[in-house]
Amino acid sequence: MTHPSPRHRSTLPHSAAQALCGAAQALCGAARVLCGAARVLLLSTGMLACVPKSPSIPGPLGSLGRPAPTHRLGGDKLDGGDDGELPTPGRARRSGSLGQRIADAARHYLESAPRGFRDDCSGFVEASLAHAGLPLSGNTSAFWELSREAGYTHHRKIPRPGDLAFFDNTWDRNGNDRLDDELSHIAIVLEVDGEGTITLAHAGTSSGRSILTMNLSHPSVREIDGGQVVNSYLRRKTPEDSARTRYLSGELWRGFATLRSDAVAQAD
């Protein structure tokens, strides 16, 4: 009887191992494709409005490894300065009123993406507040509740620069085709012109970080003479919308909040 040589005996397991390695690599490749598809799907759900994303570590990412002067209000994720770090509060407080510093920070982040903060509406607000020396962390509902409990909310038609603006029903957050999505968006007031048209900065919509306009004296008017937009679209039309659905910023507005420097103490 002829027995296979030792060389032949060692070749068979080696071939099998190669086949297993190839199968494993193919499975890894398929897994990567599935992960990529999942990321695309998740990102696409946040394109139309300020979609809350999964939990986060309190404080700016740039502060990991050292104490972070951030006070979490509950909800979404976090933020950081233009270089991923917070400015020192003392330096931030030396120039201008708090409201103007918040407005200036929001303008800055229209051009420069905040690093270390999530890319949604409340993340944009967190970044702007942190840059202005008021490090607060939370989602839209948390910012509203903090402001309401502290007595900061108001419904004046003419807000101040740096005021936070809150909106309801900017998208069907719970997917039930009903107009019951309160506090679904937040923005920051930049300025108000002589006609009462408010310019705001916001993020978390299909337009990304962008300018929003609103005129509360004419909340259901899109444009005035000459084509000037006084109320931006803030909700996308869909075939499922009811006759009561509203789309313009002035129609979806809930209220404003004028923050004060003691807001951090209120959050503790």
Beta-bridge mates of residue 197: 215
CB 58 within 8 A of CB 68: yes
Q: Say which residue the tokens 């503790």 belong to.
A: 268
Q: How many CB atoms lie within 10 A of CB 51?
A: 19
Per-residue burial over 62-74, b = 16 or more CB atoms within 10 Å of its CB, e = otherwise: bbeeeebebbbbe
CA distances from 39 to 30, 43, 158 (A): 14, 6, 41
Q: How many CB atoms lie within 10 A of CB 133?
A: 23
CA distances from 121 to 20, 124, 137, 175 (A): 48, 5, 12, 19
Q: What element of type H or E holds 4? A: none
Question: Which residue pairs, CB below 8 angstroms and at least 24 apart, start in 231-239?
Answer: 234/167, 234/170, 234/185, 234/205, 235/49, 235/169, 235/170, 235/171, 236/48, 236/171, 236/206, 238/172
Question: pLDDT tens digits, the chain, 268 residues: what are they?
Answer: 555 444 444 444 556 656 666 666 666 565 555 544 444 333 333 334 465 433 332 233 222 222 333 444 433 322 322 333 333 333 334 457 999 999 999 999 999 999 999 999 999 999 999 999 999 999 999 999 999 999 999 999 999 999 999 999 999 999 999 999 999 999 999 999 999 999 999 999 999 999 999 999 999 999 998 899 999 999 999 999 999 999 999 999 999 999 998 766 566 5
Which residues have a Cβ under 8 Å from the Cβ of 3 and sit 6 or more positions away? none
CA distances from 2 to 5, 10, 13 (A): 9, 17, 20
What is the dihedral angle through the alpha carbons of 260, 261, 267, 268, rounded to the nearest 10 degrees?
Answer: -150
CB 130 within 8 A of CB 101: no
CB 109 within 8 A of CB 84: no
Handedness of CA 46, 128, 60, 256 (dihedral sign): negative
Q: What 3-state DSSP class applies to 140?
A: helix
* Polymer length in residues for the chain: 268
Give the predicted TM-score (pTM) of the model: 0.68
Dist CA 144 CA 254 (whole Å): 10
Predicted pLDDT at 27: 64
Predicted pLDDT at 250: 98
Predicted pLDDT at 199: 98
Which residues have a Cβ under 8 Å from the Cβ of 12 and sit 6 or more positions away? none
Q: Write the single-letter amino acid at 175.
A: G
Strands (E), 76-184: 136-137, 153-154, 164-167
